[in-house]
Structure 1
Amino acid sequence: MRGRFGRGVLVLFVLFANTQAVPAACVDPIQLAHSAVSIVRHFDDAERDSHRGYVGVRGTGWFLSPTTIVTAEHVTAGMNLSSHDWKPLEIVDGDNSQVIAARIQRVAGSQAEKLAVIELQHAVSDARSVAVRRDPLVPEEQVMTFAYPTGSLRLVQGRFVRFGDGGKVAGMALLEMYEGENRLVVDHGASGAPVIDCNGRVAAVISNVFTQSFQWGHREIRISTAWGMPNVVSVPIQVLDELQAAN
């Protein structure tokens, strides 16, 4: 029987977009090569039994340093990573793949959606660290994000709409991201993908999406939000600074 990859505790997103042209005023995506990676945790036999036959969990992350990767906290939870035990983590960068022992260095954020910093046992030689933005996003500001569906780097553009003002999205950076008419381009597998501003700085990290599902005959159909409305939830990167200040 073929193995299945899990989608995580909340949702692990995947980008199915084709690479899009970036406005001339923004950073060239080539400058961000080797900064975002696909991260995969392959379960052992005991873990597969407890995860209904899933062979592992896949997400997206980006390099804070050559030995640290930032992703959404529910990705590391779905991977069964801990702050104590080192566990093998596959890191995929384009056509290159390597397995490095990893554990959780710290978790940041006080809301339901959090960030996790993964510590690697040794550095990734060609990793490119991304600058972190210190000031919050401004409404209508243009952003882009990267993720790895099936090992291929994809780029999707969008805009920052507003910060959430209540419930589970309070304080979250709400985005509208799409490719052409496709508003579900950010979907299963992209959790942990960096949200990058026009200056090439990480401003937030993708964590969830807004969708609705309904049955049409024997099919389940998922739809996104209306045009002009946010469809992607992301965690502001400033929560990393808040954690450091608290410590």
Structure 2
Amino acid sequence: MTGERGPRDPPEVRRWGGRRRPGAGIRPRIVAARTASAAGPTGYAPSPVTGLDWVLVAVLLIAAAGGTTQGFLASALGFAGFVGGALLGARVGPLLVPGGESGPDGPIAAIVGAMVLGIVLGVGLQRVGDRLRHALEGGGTRRIGRALDGALGAVFSAALVVLAAWFVSAMVLQSPGAPPSWRSEVRESSVLKRLRGTLPPADDALALLSRFDPLPGFAGPRAVVDAPDPAITRVPGVARGRRGVVRVEGSACGVGVVGTGWVASPGVVVTNQHVIAGEGDTQVTAEVGGQRVDAEAIYADRAQDIAILSAPGLTTDALDTVREPRSGSSAAILGYPLAGPFRARAGRIGEAQTVTGEDSYGQGPIRRRVLPFRGLVQQGNSGGPLVDRRGRVVGTVFASSSGNGQRRSFAVPNDVVRRALRSADPGVRVSTGPCSH
């Protein structure tokens, strides 16, 4: 499919507040497209016991006592039913709303489905466990069986409390919306320090309960190109591209939001408008080095779903951009799918086109430039870069959709991003707009 070239003049952009000074703007680094050749902790210093430590110990003892009374069979089956039901509900829920998991209501439907099926199966299997326990208490082995079931129940319930404390403490430390006093309590707790040092990192577990990224569905053209080449994720250039990636976090209307961004110049980050919509506490964290700084929007365009952030003090390497990416070229999708750890996935870009579609709030119709591509995009990838074999940006991920057995992914083309960077004024903060969920 032959794409149309966009207009020479920049599109009309909604800016909230502030006035742009003449000559203001950010000049991205651009290069011409060319064919490229293919521990665990060692120990802890003694820490004083805090009030939170005493609370955790009390909860642990209460849970152990409850597990002794309820027994292992009922406790274990009830827990297994809840987990199994939650996982099943998270899969089934999005199937009941328009757009499925890629639709705007997909994440909420997954949460509701997980809660409903988790509770139903958990209660049901707990009753089964009670009946099995009563059956085993019959005969001459009644006393032995009851004692063993109670002891195992105490251990199992205590283990659940330990795992819950480990998981919740990780959430508090990694959530930008958590009150500072909470983080301080978690950091100072001797019990939680031991847990974090003994148990594995909670990144993958946190991904299962990923924070929300309102990844839009978009009914655009599909990329008529070959399937992605998995080898692209292993080339040295992609590792260089990783050095310019940041995690974008904040809260909007009471909901935590996680997306991805990339550094266009020192202290300047490109991401999607829908990632920061409604936020006033945005922070960016460098993928390499872990530097974390506050960020403010200096440009926000809902029509093209692009935002430019000012992140003073951010020392992450800036990425180059390709002026005219070639259709059919391999690319790597860099970001934080499902709000988990960094991942690079294979993609292949199509041809940039001007289409009629919707803005980042699902409103339209509007004319906009899009770059369709093949490759798996999930919540959390929003705002991340598509990079070529040399680690240069060829597009900025903004949407994904599925239908008729086909998954379609979309990026904001570089020409749109360049216009946004030229229009942004580092000295003028703009509104991020209303919440997008």
Could you state the TM-score of these two structures normalised by the residue count of structure 2? 0.40
Query: What's the CA shift for 1:92?
Result: 4.9
- Alignment match of 2:349 (pick from 132, 143, 160): 160
**1:140 and 2:328 are equivalent in the alignment:** yes
Partner SS for 1:242: helix
**1:233 and 2:410 are equivalent in the alignment:** yes
Q: Distance in 2 between matches of 1:172 and 1:27?
A: 28
Partner SS for 1:139: coil
Q: Distance in 1 between matches of 2:421 and 2:262?
A: 19
Q: Distance in 2 between matches of 1:106 and 1:200?
A: 25
- Alignment match of 2:275 (pick from 60, 72, 75): 75
Partner SS for 2:372: strand
Partner of 2:370 in structure 1? 172
1:224/1:71 Cα in 2 relative to 1: closer, same or farther (>3 Å)?
farther
Amino acid in structure 2 at the alignment position of 1:145: I
Query: What's the CA shift for 1:195?
Result: 1.1
Where is the helix percentage greater, Structure 1 or Structure 2? 2
| 8 Å Cα contact 1:92-1:151 kept in structure 2 | no
Q: Compute the RMSD of aligned alpha carbons.
A: 3.2
Where is the strand percentage greater, Structure 1 or Structure 2? 1
Question: Within 5 A, what are the aligned runs for 1:46-85?
Answer: 50-51=253-254, 54=255, 56-78=256-278, 80-81=279-280
Instruction: Report how many aligned residue pairs link the two structures.
Output: 197
Amino acid in structure 2 at the alignment position of 1:210: S
Query: What's the CA shift for 1:166?
Result: 2.6
Query: What's the CA shift for 1:99?
Result: 3.7
Spell out, residue by residue over 1:100-141, the C-alpha distance to the aligned partner (whole angstroms, 9 max, x if none).
221012235xx83332111013223xx111001222x22212
Amino acid in structure 2 at the alignment position of 1:73: Q
1:237/1:134 Cα in 2 relative to 1: closer, same or farther (>3 Å)?
same
| 8 Å Cα contact 1:75-1:192 kept in structure 2 | yes
Partner of 1:107 in structure 2? 300
Spell out, residue by residue over 1:41-68, the C-alpha distance to the aligned partner (whole angstroms, 9 max, x if none).
1x3xxx6xx44xx2x1000011112311
Partner of 1:190 in structure 2? 381
**Once superposed, which parts of structure 1, at least 4 consecutive aligned residues long, lie more than 3 Å away?**
1-4, 96-99, 243-247
Could you state the TM-score of these two structures normalised by the residue count of structure 1? 0.67
More RCO (CA 8 Å, sep 6+): 1
1:99/1:190 Cα in 2 relative to 1: closer, same or farther (>3 Å)?
same
| 8 Å Cα contact 1:37-1:148 kept in structure 2 | no
1:76/1:27 Cα in 2 relative to 1: closer, same or farther (>3 Å)?
same
Q: What are the ranges of 5 or more consecutive residues in structure 1 without an aligned counterpart?
A: 12-19, 82-86, 178-184, 213-222
**1:5 and 2:211 are equivalent in the alignment:** yes
| 8 Å Cα contact 2:335-2:344 kept in structure 1 | yes
